A and B are shown apart, each in its own frame.
Chain A
């Protein structure tokens, strides 16, 4: 599947969004020419509390045309966004994974996924449901069975299922991840699944594993974008190492859970493939 947005029955593919400069909270023009984010890219948004991260996300979600507080313009596929695309009430450009990641519905995983498909106006598709669960199982250490109740999933299983669901079932082409609890999941794998499905991923995070597993970092201060850092190969390596440490930790937890003894530790991770 790819990132398609339905607007009046016309499907609009989002290949790229472009941020054109606006002003910071002192009214000074932002110092960049343009920032392009392509389909399949992961971009981190970093900065202190109150620096303007939410305004930037709002501008992207609303496809601002110089009419928001920041006066930024967001282009879709190099063009000004269609009015229908901006104001269609049924459309939601940005789907978000918030800090608290719980399910509250008392229903089996399989039935829940088919309910979500139905809400999207799609038919029951057993193959897609199987794929969603399989992909979730690649992110979490403890496999999810289709028959298990959502309320009985562990924290890691819930997060894995949510990420796989957002990649495969959600209508929104842009995914926002806001400081998620990420214990119990393979973070690198999770991001990989999202971008493979052709989503644009924006992450608000200061977690090194996530922040270095991106293409670039947009730095925000005083309501304005002050710079864009391209994630270097060295940083990617550091991120990859910490992800490996996290996964190794998950492995050890699983061994402890199974009642095994662990007498020696691994010290070196595999390089990035």
Chain B
């Protein structure tokens, strides 16, 4: 992928209800006059945030629904396409679905922001969503005491000593200026090579291919059937079968919702085998 103009990629991750969208609203408000912005919201089943952002702030916005896929894996698959389609922009904002503490597709070449709710529990329970963030925006601090806030900050720094900490308030916009400064100082993506800050969790069992029966044998059989199909398809996630990714297609075939011939590559291979 060739990128002529540098573009900044800012990824917001955080559990649902932590205040990601509220923080993003203030950040967009602050930056929209001076920069060309783009907003992509990833979610599992439903969201209207894209519409809300584009109507209120008059910037282009899209939504991406992961459906049967892990939303963070899906985000990582989609990031290159979003960058490719938005090379005329200055800053691309990606808001993740924020369900998984083990996962969040921060990339080395961009800025990863974790919006962390102070009443969400011990920071040491969180995985890469917190430990790999460049900036941790601590939200809802006004609900607890100054002493508890200091303890919370110390606990965050224990698991992510390099993070920049900003206390934010999604209702008043407090802390926005610091986030905006970090975005302005963040690097621009100049080459096509992007690297995840950490590996995604493995997806290797029958459940990953859509198995629902809780039984060792059934899980294994589903896994073998999935693996067999996996060997036949190219794993390009090209979407020509009508599904977002090859894994989703395999699940649909195993569930009897579609035919394996829907994949143009399998069709070719099967033809060759017949000859």
What sequence of 0s and 1s flags, for each residue 73-117 of chain A, a beta carbon within 8 Å of any chain B beta carbon?
000000000000000011010011111111111000000100110
The stretch that binds A, out of B18-26, B139-147, B218-226, B234-242, is B139-147
A32 contacts partner chain B, Cβ-Cβ < 8 Å: no
A262 contacts partner chain B, Cβ-Cβ < 8 Å: no
Residues of B within 8 A of A (CB): 119, 141-148, 150-151, 153-155, 157, 163-165, 174, 177
Chain B residues with CB under 8 A of A58 = 177
Rounded to whole Å, the gap between the CB of A121 and the closest CB of chain B is: 8
* Bound complex: CA A28 to CA B155 (Å): 44
With known contacts A90-B157, A119-B154, A120-B154, A95–B146 Cβ distance under 8 A: yes
The stretch that binds B, out of A12-20, A165-173, A223-231, is A165-173
With known contacts A89-B165, A99-B142, A112–B147 Cβ distance under 8 A: yes
A162 contacts partner chain B, Cβ-Cβ < 8 Å: yes
Candidates B145, B150, B177; contact of A103 at CB < 8 Å: B145
A249 contacts partner chain B, Cβ-Cβ < 8 Å: no
**23 A–B contact pairs at CB < 8 A?**
A58-B177, A68-B177, A89-B165, A92-B153, A97-B146, A98-B142, A98-B146, A99-B142, A100-B143, A103-B144, A105-B148, A116-B147, A116-B151, A119-B151, A119-B153, A119-B154, A120-B150, A158-B145, A162-B147, A165-B146, A166-B146, A166-B147, A170-B146
Chain B residues with CB under 8 A of A96 = 146
A54 contacts partner chain B, Cβ-Cβ < 8 Å: yes
Tally of A interface residues using CB under 8 Å: 32
Residues of A within 8 A of B (CB): 54, 58, 68-69, 89-90, 92, 95-105, 112, 115-116, 118-121, 158, 162, 165-166, 169-171
* Bound complex: CA A54 to CA B174 (Å): 9
* Bound complex: CA A154 to CA B23 (Å): 33
> Which A-B residue pairs are the 9 nearest by beta carbons?
A119-B154, A119-B151, A98-B142, A165-B147, A116-B147, A162-B145, A95-B146, A104-B144, A89-B164
* Bound complex: CA A69 to CA B177 (Å): 10
For B141, B151, B157, which residue has the most chain A Cβ atoms within 10 angstroms? Answer: B151
A169 and B174 contact, CB distance less than 8 A:
no
**From A55, which residue of chain B is reached at the shortest CB distance?**
B177
For B148, B154, B163, which residue has the most chain A Cβ atoms within 10 angstroms? Answer: B148
* Bound complex: CA A265 to CA B263 (Å): 90
Chain A residues with CB under 8 A of B119 = 104
Rounded to whole Å, the gap between the CB of B20 and the closest CB of chain A is: 21
A170 and B147 contact, CB distance less than 8 A:
yes
Chain A residues with CB under 8 A of B177 = 58, 68-69
Chain A residues with CB under 8 A of B164 = 89
Chain A residues with CB under 8 A of B151 = 115-116, 119
Rounded to whole Å, the gap between the CB of B148 and the closest CB of chain A is: 6
* Bound complex: CA A170 to CA B149 (Å): 10
